[in-house]
C-alpha cells in the first residue's frame, strides 16, 4: 500500500510520494518489498496515488530484475487502508494475501522465517510490538489468557501497550469484509474495522515481534531520520546491505548469475560493486 498524502512529511511530499523518499541509501518502498520477498512472496500489487504511479513504475518496473512480478493499481483518493483490499480483489482472485504498508520498516533476524509460517493461516494474522505511545496506533487488548478481546484505533486512554504494526495476513474473506464497511468519522474505510470482523468471528490471530526485530513507522521527519541512521549504522558496521532486492532475489535463487550481472549495469558504481561482490568469482 503506497498511497496516502504524506501530510506529516510536508513539504517533502508536495511533489513526491513519501514511499519514494530515501531511507539512507535506498527508497523507502524497498524496505517493505524486501519483507515480502523474505516471506517468499513473488506476486506483488503496488497501490499508489494517480499522480505517483509512473514514478513507481520507473523505479521498480515489472519486478523481473528482482525475480518477482509487480502489478500496479490506483487509489483515487485517500479513502483508508481497508480500501486496498477492495482495489486488490481482482488481483487476489479469491486467494490469501499479505498486506504491508509502504511506509513501514521491518528488520530482524528470523523475520522471514516467521512470516513464512503464518502465510497459510485461516482468518487474519497481525503482528504486535510493545510501544510507549500506544495512542498513536491501532492497539490490540489481550485478556489474562493472552487472547485478543478488543482492537481500538488510536485510543485516547489505552489499556494495552500492544500496537498493531502495518503488516497483515488475510484469508479470502478480507475483500468482502472491506466492502461491507462504512466510512469512519475520519472519512476512511479503517483497516481496524476489518480486523474487528475477524475478532468477532474468533479468527484474529497474532504474533508478538521478538525483541531482536525492529519495526518503525516512517511517517514523520523524525522517524525518517531514525530509520536512516539505523540502516546506516548496521550497513557500515557489517558491510552488508539491508533491503537489497537484487541480493534477496539472488539468495532465494530467483535470478541467476547472468541476471545478477545484468543488474549491476546503470545502478551507480558503489551499488553495482556491492552486487558484483555477491558473485562467487568476486569473493
Q: How confident is the model over 168-216, as pLDDT tens digits?
A: 999 999 999 999 999 998 899 999 999 999 999 999 999 999 888 999 9
Gap between the Cα atoms of 264 and 262, Å rounded: 5
Is the bond leading into 238 cis (omega within 30 degrees of zero)?
Answer: no
Whether the per-residue pLDDT at 152 is higher than 70: the answer is yes
What pTM value is reported for the model? Answer: 0.95
Residue 73 burial by Cβ neighbours in a 10 Å radius (0-12, 13-18, 19+): middle
> Burial, 55: exposed, middle or buried (Cβ in 10 Å; 0-12, 13-18, 19+)?
middle
Please, what is the average pLDDT of the chain?
Answer: 93
* CA count, 13 A, side-chain hemisphere, 8: 11
Q: How many Cα atoms are found within 13 Å in the side-chain-facing hemisphere of 179?
A: 9
- The residues, any chain, with a CB within 8 Å of residue 237's CB and separated by 6 or more, are none
Residue 86 C-alpha cell reads as 477492495
Q: What is the pLDDT of residue 211?
A: 83
Give residue 163's region: left, alpha or beta (phi > 0; psi -120 to 50). beta
Q: Is the pLDDT of residue 25 over 90?
A: yes
- 33 closest CA partner among 21, 25, 43, 22: 43
* Percentage of residues of the chain with pLDDT beyond 70: 99
Given the candidates 3.90.550.10, 3.30.465.10, 3.30.450.20, 3.40.50.1370, the CATH classification of the domain at 7-282 is 3.90.550.10
Q: What is the pLDDT of residue 126?
A: 96
Residue 90 clears pLDDT 90, i.e. is over it = yes
Q: Which residues pair with 99 in a beta bridge?
A: 168
Task: Report the relative pairing of strands 204-208 and 26-27 from DSSP bridges.
Answer: unpaired
Of 118, 106, 102, residue with least CA distance to 213: 106
Phi, psi dihedrals of residue 105, rounded to the nearest 5°:
-115, 120
Name the pairing type of β-strands 97-100 and 162-170: antiparallel
Which residues, in sequence order, are CB contacts of 11 under 8 Å at separation 6+?
none
Going by C-alpha positions, the residue among 227, 249, 231 that lies closest to residue 240 is 231
Report the pLDDT averaged over residues 9-27: 93
Nearest to residue 65, comparing CAs of 261, 280, 268?
Answer: 261
Q: Shortest CA distance to 99 belongs to which of 149, 146, 33, 154? A: 33
Amino acid at each position: 500500500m503506497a498511497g496516502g498524502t504524506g501530510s506529516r512529511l510536508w513539504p517533502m511530499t508536495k511533489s513526491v510520494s513519501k514511499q519514494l523518499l530515501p531511507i539512507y541509501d535506498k527508497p523507502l518502498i524497498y524496505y517493505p518489498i524486501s519483507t515480502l520477498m523474505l516471506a517468499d512472496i513473488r506476486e506483488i500489487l503496488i497501490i499508489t496515488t494517480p499522480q505517483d504511479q509512473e514514478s513507481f513504475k520507473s523505479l521498480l518496473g515489472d519486478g523481473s530484475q528482482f525475480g518477482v512480478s509487480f502489478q500496479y493499481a490506483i487509489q483515487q483518493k485517500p479513502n483508508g487502508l481497508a480500501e486496498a483490499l477492495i482495489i486488490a480483489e481482482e488481483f487476489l482472485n479469491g486467494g490469501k494475501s499479505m498486506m504491508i504498508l509502504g511506509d513501514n520498516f521491518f528488520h530482524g533476524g528470523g523475520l522471514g522465517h516467521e512470516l513464512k509460517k503464518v502465510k497459510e493461516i485461516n482468518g487474519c494474522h497481525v503482528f504486535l510490538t510493545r510501544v510507549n505511545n500506544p495512542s498513536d496506533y491501532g492497539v490490540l487488548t489481550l485478556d489474562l489468557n493472552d487472547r485478543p478481546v478488543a482492537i481500538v484505533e488510536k485510543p485516547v486512554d489505552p489499556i494495552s501497550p500492544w500496537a498493531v504494526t502495518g503488516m497483515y495476513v488475510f484469508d479470502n474473506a478480507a475483500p468482502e469484509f472491506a466492502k461491507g464497511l462504512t466510512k469512519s468519522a475520519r472519512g476512511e474505510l479503517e483497516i481496524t474495522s476489518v480486523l474487528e470482523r475477524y475478532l468477532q468471528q474468533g479468527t484474529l490471530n497474532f504474533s508478538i515481534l521478538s525483541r531482536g526485530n525492529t519495526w518503525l513507522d516512517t511517517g514523520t521527519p523524525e522517524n525518517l531520520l531514525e530509520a536512516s541512521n539505523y540502516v546506516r549504522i548496521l550497513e557500515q558496521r557489517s558491510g552488508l546491505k539491508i533491503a537489497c532486492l537484487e541480493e534477496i532475489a539472488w539468495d532465494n535463487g530467483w535470478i541467476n548469475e547472468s541476471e545478477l550481472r545484468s543488474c549491476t549495469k546503470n545502478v551507480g558504481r558503489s551499488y553495482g560493486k556491492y552486487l558484483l561482490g555477491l558473485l562467487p568469482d568476486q569473493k
